[in-house]
Amino acid sequence: MKKNNLSSTKTVLILLFLFFLSVNIFAQQKVTVERQTILMGSQFQITIVAEDSLKANHYIDMTIDEIARIEELISEWRPHTQISQVNAYAGIKPIQVDSEVFDLTKRAIAYSMMSDGAFDISTAAMDRIWKFDGSMDTLPSAQAIKNSIAHVDYRNIILDSTNSTIFLKNKGMKIGFGSIGKGYAADRGRELLLKHHVEGGIVNASGDLSTWGTQPNKKPWLIGIRNPFKRNKVIKVLKLKYEAVATSGSYEKYAEINDIRYSHIINPKTGYPVTGLTSVTIYGPSAEFANALSTSIMVLGAQEGRKLVRKYPSYKYLFITDNGTVIK
């Protein structure tokens, strides 16, 4: 009887060994596939960990379809989208939209309230009097700057939750999701893939990115934060699993007039380019919210920006000032 038990134990141990061996071999066979594509007018890079490249590419196709679907809802540049219809009927009548569009707009207004108007999706109506293509050599007049923000005010976006409508109170108003749309798409792409049990990956929307899981070697994803003053230097390397990162910066697009550099990020209250911070990186659970924070803080500045982000303990920050000082 003891001999049989011993034989049985050996059999179990062998089976367990074979099981763990097969799991280890299976894990080693995982592949990482990356693909770049243009969506929402920006470069997206989608990285997937899967059993083989065929499955990985299938999941990438799914993600691209999801982001394209979102773009068809919220793009203000395509005349047939729901947001374009909202803009076309500004000051005329409310437009009924899908619950997804309504909820995104509702969150955007909450971000405006959170930041006291530093974040505002109605900046889509701002007159483009500042040029950041190297052609601008004189400042706009004070009156032109004042006029440029005449139709900007999130408080004039009227939501009706009963009928799921958006109404822009004044003619000439527009809303757009250039500030948080890509972060939202990255988050949605991640959630879609998690529902399909994809164990790891990154949806990177030109720097606004969402990560989950790990690399095939079980190590976290490594995301470098670049020094805008030294392009080949990395200030910090983030080790991420289920997290997101967003960076807002003034170092790639700007106008230089009389030896003064003017950022392409405009304060929606004043119409003037922001000063003080060259870049703001926020990382935490959601790319959408991280982007709302980073955009707000570029306008608010370092002191008020730190007060804001510290209200949300699950989000961390790294600021770089115009003189190169790192605040973290």
Tens of pLDDT along 298-308? 999 999 999 99
- In the predicted structure, residue 44 carries a pLDDT above the cut 50: yes
Give the pLDDT score at 14: 44
Query: In Å, how far are 192, 240, 298 from 220, measured between CA atoms?
Result: 20, 5, 29
Residue 47: closest CA among 256, 190, 229: 190
Burial of 111 per CB tally in 10 Å (0-12, 13-18, 19+): buried
Higher pLDDT, 122 or 232: 122
Cβ(327)–Cβ(306) under 8 Å? Answer: yes
- In the predicted structure, residue 56 carries a pLDDT above the cut 50: yes
Judge if pTM exceeds 0.95: no
Give the pLDDT score at 57: 98
Local confidence band at 23 (pLDDT 50, 70, 90 cut-offs): very low
Give the pLDDT score at 2: 46
- Residue-wise pLDDT for 60-73, tens only, equals 999 999 999 999 99
Going by the DSSP 8-state scheme, the letter that residue 51 receives in this structure is S
Q: Give the count of beta carbons closer than 10 Å to the beta carbon of residue 159.
A: 17
Is the domain spanning 82-168 CATH 1.10.3470.10? The answer is no
Tokens linked to 147: 């006029």
- In the predicted structure, residue 6 carries a pLDDT above the cut 80: no
What average pLDDT does this structure show over 115-130? 95
Cβ(164)–Cβ(137) under 8 Å? Answer: no
Local confidence band at 108 (pLDDT 50, 70, 90 cut-offs): very high
Q: In the chain, what is the straight-line distance between the N-terminal and C-terminal CA atoms, in Å?
A: 67
Q: Give the integer Cα–Cα distance in Å for 129 and 132.
A: 10
Give the pLDDT score at 28: 57
Give the mean pLDDT of the chain: 91
Local confidence band at 156 (pLDDT 50, 70, 90 cut-offs): very high
Poorest-confidence range of 91-105, 122-136, 194-208, 248-262?
248-262
What average pLDDT does this structure show over 270-284? 95
Residue 284: closest CA among 210, 231, 196, 191: 210
The three-class DSSP label of residue 167 is strand
Local confidence band at 153 (pLDDT 50, 70, 90 cut-offs): very high
Question: What amino acid occupies position 243?
Answer: E
Local confidence band at 15 (pLDDT 50, 70, 90 cut-offs): very low
What average pLDDT does this structure show over 290-300? 97
What average pLDDT does this structure show over 134-140? 89
Cβ(167)–Cβ(95) under 8 Å? Answer: yes
Poorest-confidence range of 25-29, 176-180, 259-263, 321-325?
25-29
Going by the DSSP 8-state scheme, the letter that residue 274 receives in this structure is P
Q: Give the integer Cα–Cα distance in Å for 302 and 317.
A: 11
Local confidence band at 17 (pLDDT 50, 70, 90 cut-offs): very low
Local confidence band at 214 (pLDDT 50, 70, 90 cut-offs): very high
Helices (H), the chain: 2-28, 53-74, 82-88, 99-114, 142-148, 181-195, 287-300, 302-309
Give the pLDDT score at 117: 97
Tokens linked to 252: 């790639």
Q: Give the integer Cα–Cα distance in Å for 165 and 175.
A: 14
What average pLDDT does this structure show over 15-23? 45
Residue 201: closest CA among 20, 23, 58: 58
- Residue written as token pair 């699950």: 314
- In the predicted structure, residue 179 carries a pLDDT above the cut 50: yes
Q: Determine the distance from the C-alpha atom of residue 35 to the mean position of all C-alpha atoms in its chain, rounded to a whole number.
A: 18
